[in-house]
Amino acid sequence: MKKVLITGAAGFLGSHLCDKFIKEGYYVIGMDNLITGNMANIEHLMPLPNFEFYHHDVSKYVHIPGNLDYILHFASPASPIDYLKIPIQTLKVGSLGTHNLLGLALAKNARMLIASTSEVYGDPLVHPQTEDYWGNVNPIGPRGVYDEAKRFQEAMTMAYHTYHQVETRIVRIFNTYGPRMRLDDGRALPAFMSQALKNEDLTVFGDGSQTRSFCYVDDLVDGIYRLLLSDYAYPVNIGNPEEITLLQFAQEIQQLCDTKSKITYHPLPKDDPKQRKPDITKAKELLGWEPKVSREEGLQRTFEYFKKALK
């Protein structure tokens, strides 16, 4: 049985990855310091003989006994609310955490995949964003703690790949949504959906003309799994190229939730990206991957989860 370590295992994406690897017949070691993760996301896995959990901060030395085939590094705050609240931990998990895990990958001769992000492109001057675009990031702005942690993470990963010949993979994740998102996450979908379900006003920043591209979590996990098992070491965008303005997105959620909530407008946060759309040509060509779940279907599934979670 192949053995995989998944950091950030109790988080939104990490927990879905744990489910995927369990389903595919792997022995899964989940690791999380629970700073933003939630044990409820993985409690259904705890009784399984091929799952174990380590409550640990990867910014400190990481030890795993025995053999290890794969490492997926998904530990990191990922919402502006979180990384503005815990900026130093965000920088540490992207730098020290990545260094510790690359050292473990080297020692165990394991393949390591890191969760990078579309935020490495910053507020992009190129649209849609291709993997060869270097980005437009403000390193000292409020979002810099997350953006630069991820950019450093990519550089460190490529250095281990080049210098130590560690097998590495880099996924650049675009906006993803689905069950197990935190209600107080602060990102557009959980904010809109929890506001609509509580009949509160939906808060749109700026005039709502900024765009995002939303990928359902099952599609994302499938892309990550394919990338891990591929032989490609450079960054690959995984996301849904169907672009929508945040105002349109808020209106879709209003309709879905059948709410009396109105839309209110608030000042745009500093360095908030004006547009986001992945070019997924590489993922299609290298991995045979593209998203399958429509936004309508994905939002319906997420709505059912949020309705239960808010009871």
Q: Where are the domains of the chain?
A: 3-177+217-241+278-292
β 211-213/243-245 pair status: antiparallel
pLDDT of residue 269: 80
pLDDT of residue 273: 80
pLDDT of residue 39: 98
pLDDT of residue 184: 82
Q: What are phi and psi of 199, to 5 degrees?
A: 60, 35
Contact at 8 Å (CB) between 7 and 14? Answer: yes
pLDDT in tens, the chain (311 residues): 999 999 999 999 999 999 999 999 999 999 999 999 999 999 999 999 999 999 999 999 999 999 999 999 999 998 888 988 999 999 999 999 999 999 999 999 999 999 999 999 999 999 999 999 999 999 999 899 999 999 999 999 999 999 999 999 999 999 999 999 998 887 889 999 999 999 999 999 989 999 999 999 999 999 999 999 999 999 999 999 999 999 999 999 999 999 888 999 998 887 778 889 999 999 999 999 999 999 999 999 999 999 999 87
Nearest-angstrom CA–CA distance, 22 and 28:
7
Structure token digits, residue 60: 């400190």
pLDDT of residue 183: 84
Nearest-angstrom CA–CA distance, 299 and 233:
33
> What fold does the segment set 3-177+217-241+278-292 form as a domain?
Rossmann fold (3.40.50)
- Among the listed residues 240, 248, 250, 253, the one whose alpha carbon sits nearest the alpha carbon of residue 296: 253
- Catalytic, out of 26, 27, 83, 146: 146
pLDDT of residue 81: 87
Our answer to whether residue 225 is catalytic in this structure is no
Q: Which CA distances in Å does 70 have to 1, 21, 23, 45, 98?
A: 12, 11, 16, 19, 14
pLDDT of residue 80: 85
How many residues make up the chain in this entry?
311
